[in-house]
Amino acid sequence: MAIARTPHVRLEPFGMRAVRLGLVSVEQVEKALAVQKMLRNKGQHVLIGMVMVDLEMLTTTQLLAVLRTYETVEEERS
């Protein structure tokens, strides 16, 4: 029995999408990525959106709004 495979579609990175939506600046994304890397080096895996919330760059409402835009992309692919 063959399993149907969906073509791999590369989604826009979370930080860039947040920039495009006007929620953060490129500089804020770069800072959040640096913090994320530092945490990863300490053995902690924290998603970039949560780093941005922790740094008060995004509210949880804004985080969810960005995440919802990915649902729209998934629905369009179906």
Q: What is the end-to-end Cα distance of the chain in Å, rounded? A: 22
User: Would you put residue 22 in left (φ > 0), alpha (ψ -120 to 50) or beta?
Assistant: left
pLDDT tens digits for range 11-56: 899 999 999 999 999 999 999 999 999 999 999 999 999 999 999 9
Task: Please state the domain extents for the chain.
Answer: 14-77
Residues 6+ apart with CB under 8 A from 28: 52, 55, 57
Which pTM was predicted? 0.80
Q: CB–CB of 66/33 below 8 Å?
A: no
Q: What is the pLDDT of residue 5?
A: 57
CA–CA separation, 35 vs 52, rounded Å? 9
pLDDT tens digits for range 57-70: 999 999 999 999 98
CA–CA separation, 26 vs 4, rounded Å? 38
